[in-house]
Amino acid sequence: MNSGDIIASRYVLERPLAKGGMGAVWVARHLELDARVALKVMAPEHADTSFARDRFQREARACAQIQHPNVVAVHDYGVADDVPFLVMELLQGEDLQTCLAREGRLSLAAAIAVILPVCKGLRRAHELGIIHRDVKPSNVFLARQGEDTVIKILDFGVARVTHDVAGQTTRTGVLLGSPSYMSPEQARGRRVDHRSDLWSLAVVLYECLTGRLPFGSQALGDLLIELCTEPAPPPTRMAPDLPAVVDPFFARALARNPDDRFQSAEAFADALASLRSGLPSLTTGPSIAMARPPSTSDVSLAQTPPPAASPTAPGVATTIGLSRPRAAKLVLGFAVPVVLVLGSLVAYRLFSPKEPLETTVAAPTEPLPAQPPTIAAPTASTSSTPAPMVAPTPPESTPSAAPSPDAPRKTPQSSAPRGTSKRPSPPSSTPTRDPTFGF
């Protein structure tokens, strides 16, 4: 096929997008809708193979049934000139394999941000009885949609549909998929279920975090033996900067017995979410940004930390910038109430009225004589002879009780101080209450 060819009278081929062993993917344009799509065409040499045709049809049915935001959408399927074709949504971005080849590895936060949406897409597929059987980085696409990056699962060509419309399932004993990401039961050619997809997804996550595969033998035979007999090395052995909590997660996710693994994509996602919530404030591992592919515009994950050259520390910069103002606010919060209380006490002491002296009790033998306002002050005497002593009259009631208004007034006699020949001291300047006026 060449650019400009028209497929099924409505799709015109514009340029090749990708090529594989089973066929090629083209950027095509719908003639009537004037919309660009991805058109997957089977290679002519495989068009007569029933297996290849079944694979195309299986992929079209699976994607059409799932209809999930994290699974690539299929718009059309048909046969043109005896060659099957598949029309899918055209995605802008890059697959995870290309990203890892460029970046090496991802931080734990970035890897979880990629894998969680894959869990959601697989959960929907598993609910419909569809087993992907070929989960690997090249089938995880980082699609750019506006300012966001949406994770898409690609290529359900080798998917197993447990309840196929035609009532047929894939035969056992056939090795399908990518050996490096196969589960042990899949490598043995046995019938697999949804837990095989979760094994493959754990291998993808392992590669994202360490930059290596847990089983890395180059020869296919050695790889299958290693896969079926040897345990996966802990990821912290490959990447010591990872937190120790990832080791128990992979010990379960890569358990050789399917019954010992996570039993659903939902349980897998919950464990990932718990792992993410337990992360320290500093991002563990190198923080890799989804860089810009050479031929496309920026592909950025909303939750991807900044590049490894400047390791991210979420919240640290903000904390440092706000530490001094926050301390000043705390000091003011304690100092202001104290100053207000002390100021209130000082104001109260300064401006509160003086207590009257009527409550002051003099010595019983020398009561303080009252000075009526109508009586003039005694004339100073030049004689050195002391004035005659007048015996004090015992009070009839307590000092605080006011005398009766009808009682006769008595002019008190001033008494000279004892043991002195000098004139008596003038009365105290402190005002006293006159019982006559009832103050």
Please state the domain extents for the chain.
9-90, 91-166+174-313
254-280 per-position pLDDT tens digit: 999 999 999 999 999 999 998 877 654
**Integer Cα distance of 168 and 155 in angstroms:** 20
Least confident piece of the model among 73-87, 288-302, 353-367: 288-302
Contacts of 344 (CB under 8 A, 6+ apart): none
Provide the 3-class DSSP secondary structure of residue 237: helix
- Is 90 exceeded by the pLDDT of residue 436? no
Share of the chain above pLDDT 70, in %: 62
Half-sphere exposure of 159 (CA within 13 A, CB side): 28
Interatomic CA distance for residues 114 and 105, integer angstroms: 12
Query: Which residues lie across from 30 on neighbouring strands?
Result: 11
Mean pLDDT score of the chain: 73
Give pLDDT, residue 304. Answer: 38
Determine the average pLDDT of the residues in 179-200.
Answer: 90
Residue pair 284/241 in contact by the 8 Å Cβ criterion: yes
Highest mean pLDDT: which of 94-103, 215-224, 428-437?
A: 94-103
The residue ranges of DSSP E strands in 155-214, in sequence order, are: 160-161
- Contact, 243 vs 279, CB < 8 A? yes
| Nearest alpha carbon to residue 235 among 132, 120, 111 | 111
**Pairing of the two strands 23-30 and 130-131:** unpaired
pLDDT at 227 over 70: yes
| Residue 208 in this model has a pLDDT that exceeds 90 | yes
- CATH code, residues 9-90: 3.30.200.20
pLDDT of residue 164: 56
- CB atoms < 10 A from the CB of 302, how many? 9
Work out whether strand 74-80 and strand 23-30 pair parallel, antiparallel, or are unpaired: unpaired
Give the C-alpha separation, 20 to 349, whole Å: 95
At residue 136, the pLDDT reads 94
Which one is catalytic: 5, 82, 134, 434?
A: 134
- Of 13-17, 164-168, 239-243, 327-331, least confident by mean pLDDT is 164-168
Residue predicted with more confidence, 30 or 395: 30
Classify residue 129 as left (phi > 0), alpha (psi -120 to 50) or beta.
Answer: left
Query: What's the Rg (C-alpha) of the chain?
Result: 48
**Higher confidence at residue 167 or residue 7?**
7
**pLDDT tier, 285 (very low <50, low <70, confident <90, very high otherwise):** very low
CA distance 224 to 216: 10
Residue 83 has pLDDT above 50, yes or no: yes
The average pLDDT across 145-174 equals 71
The Cα–Cα gap between 257 and 364 comes to 106
As a whole number, mean pLDDT of residues 232-258 equals 92
Q: What CATH superfamily is the domain 91-166+174-313?
A: Transferase(Phosphotransferase) domain 1 (1.10.510.10)
Asked if residues 299 and 93 have their Cβ atoms less than 8 Å apart, the reply is yes
Cα gap 167→190, rounded to integer Å: 19
What is the rounded average pLDDT of the residues 358-363?
46
How many other CB atoms sit within 10 Å of the CB of residue 318?
A: 10
- Is the pTM higher than 0.85? The answer reads no
9-90 shares its CATH topology with 91-166+174-313: no
**Which amino acid, one-letter code, is at 140?**
V
Active site residue 197: no
Among 312, 307, 314, 313, which residue's Cα sits nearest to residue 288?
A: 307
* Nearest residue to 214 via CA among 176, 184, 173: 184
Cβ atoms of 274 and 248 within 8 Å: the answer is: no
**Residue 62: predicted pLDDT:** 84
